[in-house]
Amino acid sequence: MTGIPTTASDHSLADVMPSIAAALGVDIRNPLALEPSRDVVLVLVDGLGAELIRQHAGEAPTLAAMATRMISAGFPATTATSLTSLAVGAPCSQHGIVGYSFRISDADGPATTFNPLRWTLESADGPSAMDEFPPREVQQQPSLLDLLADEGIDVTYVMREDFRESGLTRAAFRADGDFRPAKSLDEIRHGVLDAVSRSSRTRRFVYAYFGHLDLIGHIHGPGSPEWVRSLREVDAFVADLLADLPPDCALVVTADHGMVTAENIIDIDTSPALLADVAAVAGEARVRHAYARAGSEQAVLAAWRSELAGHARVLSREQALDEQLFGPGRDYADRLGDVIAIATGGVILARTQHEKMESSLLGHHGANTAAEQHIPLILR
């Protein structure tokens, strides 16, 4: 029997780290009302949408029974944005990582397309942006992990080695901490238990990240046999942690987004109407940013609305800001497209020539459907 509620609370992923800090004794808001704890382990499972747990509850009995609270990922529901919102405790309107890719400029040069997940220019496999766009300049909000470290709380990371010095890690998490390389669930389990099982005079916080479920969902589709097999493994991993963690150590399990299956592909790269007067297209297949040539903003908006009618909700930048779609504030308004298209149903807005790998994927996320937005909040 599933314990997952049918609707998400008013809380989001940005509320998780402030609440964990409060539970560890830091004088800060506690929006999720977490109980005080000496140590806390936070496990983020990339792509573990609450609606997917509900649909596959029989394959994930531990997750289904424990996921009695549900929160929202925040918009857009994409990894770079969500992880930054988690780490700094704020929506992307305040930290500036507004999507999978977006336009950005420095003081000396023209705007260029930037991918914060890879920290590259122009595309996911483009040249490094580390020198031109230093992580702490692109994202200037303080990290709550830095706050924990300043309060004398030991911080440990358990995740892939290549994430240790990545641009996104430097931008979002910031605190140095103890790093334990881990890729498989078994390696993550051992890293977590090793970090908290020994006696310590200081409080401890462990952040663990697992990305394989998301990868399988992208390649084979959420709900595919391959994805279900990975979900079973995640469920067993969480059950083992629940049994093996010390009694005075709290466990929090959540995700960065859910996922939908591509059903209807619209190719921007082969649609002249969608490219006319457009200087650049960014975002991802479920949320696109179109940057119009100067003076063509209204023409591009009209063309996108006409071409994507019935397939996407198309907004102007000003409309998105007025609706606080990306959160309150306008500090990073220039990073948003002049036109923003949010795919509906199973539509993906592909770019088969410029994003060949991304366009071939079966699973996608980013938009504001329940399947993409609703994420579990599992507490022990």
State the 10-residue block means of pLDDT for the chain, 380 residues long.
Answer: 70 98 98 97 98 97 96 98 98 98 84 96 94 96 97 98 96 96 98 94 97 98 98 98 96 98 97 98 98 98 98 98 97 97 97 95 98 97
Pick the CATH number of 13-90+139-260+369-379 from 3.40.50.1370, 3.30.70.20, 3.40.720.10, 3.40.50.620: 3.40.720.10
Q: Where are the domains of the chain?
A: 13-90+139-260+369-379, 264-364
The residue with tokens 């937005």 is: 373
What proportions of the chain, in percent to the nearest 5, are helix, strand and coil? Answer: 35, 25, 40
CB-based contact 291:281 (threshold 8 Å): yes
CATH topology of domain 264-364: Gyrase A; domain 2 (3.30.1360)
List the helix and strand counts (H, then E) for the chain: 16, 18
* pTM listed for this prediction: 0.96
Provide the β-strand partners of residue 347. Answer: 264
CB-based contact 140:332 (threshold 8 Å): no
Same fold, 13-90+139-260+369-379 and 264-364: no
What pLDDT, in 10s, does the model give residues 140-192?
999 999 999 999 999 999 999 999 999 999 999 999 999 999 999 999 999 99
Q: How far is the C-alpha of 43 from the C-alpha of 251, rounded, in Å? A: 8
Residue 327: predicted pLDDT: 97
CB-based contact 269:60 (threshold 8 Å): no
What pLDDT, in 10s, does the model give residues 283-340?
999 999 999 999 999 999 999 999 999 999 999 999 999 999 999 999 999 999 999 9
